Amino acid sequence: MKIAFLADPLDTFKTYKDSTFAMMREAARRGHTLYAFEQADLVLESGLVTANAFKVTLTGDSEDWYRADKPTATFLSEFDAVIVRKDPPFDMEYIYSTYLLELAEKQGARVFNKPAAIRSHNEKLAIAQFPQYTAPTLVTRDAKRLRAFHAEHQDVILKPLDGMGGMGIFRVKADGMNLGSIIETLTDNGQRTIMAQRFIPEISAGDKRILLIGGKVVPNVLARIPQGNEVRGNLAAGGLGKAQPASARDIEIGEALGPVLYERGLLLVGLDCIGSYLTEVNVTSPTCFQEITEQTGFDVAAMFIDALETAAGTVG
């Protein structure tokens, strides 16, 4: 297959933990040809979508890890698969990219995850589609409602709907310390909608990443455990990643959501769960491949490329 990755600049990859690199390495091992391009390389001209893509050759070196040929304007339909691996922020440029990729699909491109599905699954709000698995949650910009939610539940988490890596997450305990200031800051004085959730004490055991690939549950999860006095388990916020077998509840949630999300065009999804509760549905650029593989021996990248080959119609 000819596989193109829409990603951040390759020079920014930390290959020892990067999931996109793990995908590339496995695809190259199987003899597939790799290409890459960035958001800025997408072009719509005369009704047709192209990308200024370049061929990527892996060197096997951990530092100087790739060679890039000269970029060439290429119709996305010329690739067997286009894999969307652009990291957040999910800003307007990201949305514009999904529109262009959706046009490319109409011209024959096969894009994973489907751009319309990415766009319609806000990683925080998507949990509202599966309320049977969530803790009490409120989404609003109304300060009175947010204060009432805190008064009812006493210990709550407040967070923006467009955050990543744990940025902008606040815990407010029963004393309500700084509640007003936090609400004003996160909502921009009532101009931005945010999410409030009842605090889940099981965060001390980790914020678990459950990977769904081709609608199926990866049998191991990565528990991202907060360190010190930190309430956030995100690896970007200093959390410790510990791989472990998926619990019965993890599997229950994964098996319930997996087929539904796959049917919607989401080949790869990262569910976040704390204790027995679903907290996020990550669809933009889910990670944790290498951490799970290194700690458990389960080859997540191989499972992903298997699913990609099937979805792209090259096997089975």
H runs (alpha helix) in the chain: 19-29, 92-106, 115-120, 143-153, 179-187, 248-263, 289-296, 300-311
User: Is 224 designated active site?
Assistant: yes
Place of tokens 């965060």: 203
> Whole-angstrom Cα distance, residue 273 to residue 206?
9
Catalytic residue among 209, 250, 291, 309: 209
Q: Are 269 and 283 in contact (CB under 8 A)?
A: yes
Catalytic residue among 25, 114, 119, 224: 224
Q: List the one residue out of 196, 199, 122 whose CA is nearest residue 164.
A: 122
User: Is 272 designated active site?
Assistant: yes
- Per-residue confidence in pLDDT tens, the chain, 316 aa: 999 999 999 999 999 999 999 999 999 999 999 999 999 999 999 999 999 999 999 999 988 999 999 999 999 999 999 999 999 889 999 999 999 999 999 999 999 999 999 999 999 999 999 999 999 999 999 999 999 999 999 999 999 998 877 788 999 999 999 999 999 999 999 999 999 999 999 999 999 999 999 999 999 999 999 887 777 767 766 789 999 999 999 999 999 999 999 999 999 999 999 999 999 999 999 999 999 999 999 999 999 999 999 999 854 3
User: Is 232 designated active site?
Assistant: yes
Catalytic residue among 110, 124, 198, 208: 124
User: Is 85 designated active site?
Assistant: no
Collect all residues with Cβ–Cβ distance below 8 Å to 297 and sequence separation of at least 6.
none
> Whole-prediction pTM value?
0.94
